[in-house]
Structure 1
Amino acid sequence: MTTGKLTSRQSLFVGVTLFSMFFGAGNLIIPPLLGLQAGEAVVPAMVGFLVTGIGLPMLGIIAVGLAGTIRDLASRVHPLFAHVFVAANYLAIGPCLAIPRTSSTSFEMFEPLLPAGLSLEVARLVFSVVFFTVAYLLAMHPNALTRLLGRITGPALIALLVFVIGAALFDPASSLEAAHATYASAPAMSGFLTGYQTMDLLASLTFGIVIATNIRELGVTDDAGLTREVSRAGIFAGVLMGIIYCGLALVGVNIAAVLPGATNGAEILAASAGQHFGTVGTVVVAAIFLLACLNVCIGLISCCGTYFSDEFPRIPYRVWALGFAVFSCVVSNFGLDAILTFSVPLLNAMYPMAIVLVVMGMLHKVCDGMPAVWPCAVGLTAVVSIATSLRDAFFTGAWLPFDVLPFADLGMNWVVPALLGALIGVVVSFAGKKPQSAS
């Protein structure tokens, strides 16, 4: 019977499903490294990280629920922008970056367990083929994601994380290390920018499709009910991720004296688990990474396949999903370092636009009354973020006029242009309104 509301048990499963779709490679390796590098400044650094790592993605889920799909949001800027931005978003969180990263990161964790003398190239190829075959087969049933992620792999992942984080909680560091690099001078802002690397804000604009499908399958079909249940799932997933993020950061803080020069969160987690549990700990961490990455891979293949099959219905979902799995398998064999190097400029270009869209989506009733605000604010943000990212990727050190803007030294030179664009949009909107004649 359709009640327009999920039971508490159903809502819990949907929330765990959303958590499992979000919580992947980046979510595992970034907080421990932040904790290690931030040291005594870990609290403000984590506050900044939680804003972009949890706050913005949860707002993204809610904004999509309030204002429509990611296409509905982007179309308010311009139809052409909607086509380009939405496709770029799906490709970024899908086959071009995030999906290959799931396999590459999982393999990095299994590498220490491989027999000596085994060819890493051959091992990586075999691992990626098996990994993406399993992910593709499971993604063939997107409506069953709640049963799979919410009831089986999601709880298993949480249990393994509690195992590793609990060991760090019961063996705290005797003193905090000094903060490294930018965490020493601007910990909160450094944490904020570090949150970009999770890619969760971009993902939040797309995961709503699959989550909404699962909620409909559970009997909630009215718009108000869907918005409410998607928001509840987002809040649950956000709280759960926040607790785990803080625990993972604590792991990094506690191991800092042992690995002061560590540059990889996976190395930190493996060292912590090995310190407390020996070889068993290394196996547990490898299992955590495999589960987390497989969960996210399944969700991303499902989301990307659903979107592109809707956009190009002549090609069925299963063909899109297979194409993304095969392409991602090929890209993953270039190695994790190559994928991460490519990710930084792409995320720096897209994240500012996504942030502006989400903020305006939360205020869509006000912004829709002044329609010029959308193209002006997002347009100026896009010019600054794309130009800066291209410079950083291909012309490192070259000067841009945007470098003199406020917050440029913090990597946020797009903030003032976004506000200026919004102001211009307000003026243009009011100037374009015809005065009503007195009757």
Structure 2
Amino acid sequence: MINMENEKKLTMKHYLLIASMLFGMFFGAGNLIFPIHLGQLAGAHWLTAGLGFLISGTLLPLLAIIAISVTHSNGIYELAKPIGNRYATIFMILVCLTLGPLFATPRTATVPFQIGIGNYINPSQTPIFLLIYSIIFFGITYWASSTPTGIIDSIGKLLNPAFLILLAIMFGFTFTRPMGTAGKMAASGTAYQDGSFLNGFLQGYNTMDAIAGLLFGIAIVSTIKGLGQRKSSHISATIFKSGALGIGLEAIIYLILIWVGATSLNHFPISADGGIAFGQIANHYLGLGGQIILAIMATLTCLTTSVGLSTSFSEALHNKFPQISYRTWNILTCGLSFIIANFGLETIIAWSTPMLMFLYPLAITLILLSILSPLFKRNSIVYIWTTAFTLIPAFLGMIESAPAIISKTAFAQALMHFDKMYLPLASYGLDWVVPALIGFALGLANYFTKGWLTTQMTQPNENN
């Protein structure tokens, strides 16, 4: 029995501290470059594109944390366990690798390097500068993530305030001296003229925050327990309040960045990525000083994310495979992230996109199923039907978005033809939605039918 009398009532300071932790974890590399680039792509349609981006970039991550709370899960493995132990293990490993040493964590080093240093050095010098930068970057990451209980101190108290101050300085200049009117700038193409909302939604995948929310739930619940909360309902309420604060702030910053990107079209052409655009904007307002501030800002925000990712990845795998220590997992995470980071940002993004197109539909359905699970008592049959119907279109999305060496093969082209011919919403990148809904409906029908039959079979015969 848990002694509820020993529970500590949290103060507003505690909620703000946890919210700061959430904000620091989520607002990182992708969050810095993708919104501002989205603003350039959407032009006058920046607001509708931004709303789509907010759904996948802020609402889904919050729902992911709430899903951990509603199901009282101890992490991503327990959350996916109703689908099957083997599936839960594979899904957890894929998410951990994506957010850990394969894609997201290396990206936290390559993005600030590119926008703070890479744009201003000779390309031939990039490998050696990136090597030195990544050694320092992941050395700090390992130090800050060595002890999970120090995550609030290293993220919330040290890095977040410094980052917010630097960001406020940048925003101050954009508000007092805007580069023009965003509403008059044309979108980059018909995709954003006719489907800005859905394209904004898909752009939010690049932040990886929805799947990150599934992993961060482990560290967040652990932190709240460390602050004195024991009852599961109290922990759930704390997650909701703190998540609304931290992710709400993130949503505001997203919209500002998207607006800034749209206004920048009055002075600059659409850039190849948000890092270049951010550098141009900083230089426009602050000259060399702006470049320095941008480099510091990018490094700070990406360090907060790197620490959060490394901690959550190491904790998740240590909980699943306790025979290997947390310290060993942390060393492997930081070491492999360092190696992959030195392949460069372009390579990392090219190979991360297909993985996201595969994982995101599965993650979204898992999040929504978990939140709705009280309706069907978290019965496995509903999870299994929904996931089974989501897997095939998710796989097709992965093939379609893969680099040309895969997507241009005859086999891949045949799969994509089938996808667009027979699956609704395929042209919008949402071919998984209708199959997932069908699977969910069939799963519910199966669940309630079995329940009704069981009731009929166990009901006493009134005629006897």
The bucket for the TM-score relative to the shorter chain is over 0.9
Match of 2:365 in 1: 356
Kept in 1, the 8 Å contact 2:22–2:247? The answer is no
Q: Which range is displaced more, 398-407 or 93-102?
A: 398-407
Partners in 2 of 1:337 and 1:2 — Cα distance?
52
Which of 188, 193, 197 is the aligned partner of 2:206? 197
Match of 1:426 in 2: 444
Match of 1:88 in 2: 94
Superposed displacement of residue 402, structure 1: 3.0
Q: TM-score, normalised by structure 1?
A: 0.96
Superposed displacement of residue 367, structure 1: 3.1
Change in CA separation of 1:30 and 1:220 when aligned onto 2, cut-off 3 Å: same
Match of 1:179 in 2: 187
**Aligned ranges 1:16-27 → 2 under 5 Å:** 16-27=20-31
Kept in 2, the 8 Å contact 1:104–1:332? The answer is yes
Superposed displacement of residue 395, structure 1: 3.1
In the TM superposition, what whole-angstrom CA distance separates every residue of 1:70-114 from its partner, at most 9, and x where no partner exists?
222211111111111111111111111000001111211232586
Superposed displacement of residue 279, structure 1: 0.5
Which of 262, 271, 274 is the aligned partner of 2:280? 271
How many matched pairs? Answer: 439
Match of 2:115 in 1: 109
Q: Which range is displaced more, 266-275 or 192-201?
A: 266-275
Match of 2:418 in 1: 401
Partners in 2 of 1:249 and 1:299 — Cα distance?
25
Match of 2:296 in 1: 287
Kept in 2, the 8 Å contact 1:367–1:374? The answer is no
Kept in 2, the 8 Å contact 1:4–1:225? The answer is no
Superposed displacement of residue 376, structure 1: 0.4
Partners in 2 of 1:86 and 1:196 — Cα distance?
18
- Percent identity reads 31
Equivalent position SS for 1:406: coil
**Aligned ranges 1:283-322 → 2 under 5 Å:** 283-322=292-331
2:438 corresponds to 1:415: no
Superposed displacement of residue 119, structure 1: 2.4
Which of 142, 146, 168 is the aligned partner of 1:162? 168
Q: Which range is displaced more, 385-394 or 84-93?
A: 385-394
Equivalent position SS for 2:102: coil
Structure 1 stretches lacking a partner, 5+ long = none
2:234 corresponds to 1:225: yes
How well do the aligned residues superpose, as a CA RMSD in angstroms?
1.7
Superposed displacement of residue 257, structure 1: 2.1
Kept in 2, the 8 Å contact 1:372–1:425? The answer is yes
Equivalent position SS for 1:119: helix
Partners in 2 of 1:291 and 1:369 — Cα distance?
40
Match of 1:386 in 2: 395
For 1:395, the aligned partner's letter is: S
Partners in 2 of 1:106 and 1:92 — Cα distance?
19
Partners in 2 of 1:370 and 1:134 — Cα distance?
44
Superposed displacement of residue 116, structure 1: 6.0
Kept in 2, the 8 Å contact 1:168–1:254? The answer is no
Match of 1:329 in 2: 338
2:36 corresponds to 1:32: yes
Change in CA separation of 1:118 and 1:437 when aligned onto 2, cut-off 3 Å: closer
Q: TM-score, normalised by structure 2?
A: 0.91
Kept in 1, the 8 Å contact 2:401–2:407? The answer is yes
Partners in 1 of 2:355 and 2:107 — Cα distance?
14
For 1:179, the aligned partner's letter is: A
For 2:77, the aligned partner's letter is: R
Kept in 2, the 8 Å contact 1:360–1:367? The answer is no
Kept in 2, the 8 Å contact 1:373–1:426? The answer is yes
Partners in 2 of 1:237 and 1:368 — Cα distance?
30
Match of 2:58 in 1: 54
Partners in 2 of 1:405 and 1:120 — Cα distance?
44
Superposed displacement of residue 117, structure 1: 8.9
Match of 2:83 in 1: 77
Kept in 2, the 8 Å contact 1:38–1:179? The answer is yes
Equivalent position SS for 2:297: helix
Kept in 1, the 8 Å contact 2:24–2:156? The answer is yes
Equivalent position SS for 1:6: coil
For 1:140, the aligned partner's letter is: S
Superposed displacement of residue 197, structure 1: 0.5
Change in CA separation of 1:400 and 1:73 when aligned onto 2, cut-off 3 Å: farther
In the TM superposition, what whole-angstrom CA distance separates every residue of 1:341-400 from its partner, at most 9, and x where no partner exists?
011110000000111111111111113365411100111101210133124422344344
Partners in 2 of 1:438 and 1:50 — Cα distance?
53
Kept in 2, the 8 Å contact 1:173–1:253? The answer is no
Kept in 2, the 8 Å contact 1:24–1:102? The answer is yes
Kept in 1, the 8 Å contact 2:118–2:126? The answer is no
Change in CA separation of 1:58 and 1:115 when aligned onto 2, cut-off 3 Å: closer
Change in CA separation of 1:194 and 1:364 when aligned onto 2, cut-off 3 Å: same
Equivalent position SS for 2:117: helix
Kept in 1, the 8 Å contact 2:180–2:264? The answer is no
Equivalent position SS for 2:83: coil
Change in CA separation of 1:121 and 1:173 when aligned onto 2, cut-off 3 Å: closer
Partners in 2 of 1:369 and 1:65 — Cα distance?
14
Partners in 2 of 1:285 and 1:356 — Cα distance?
37
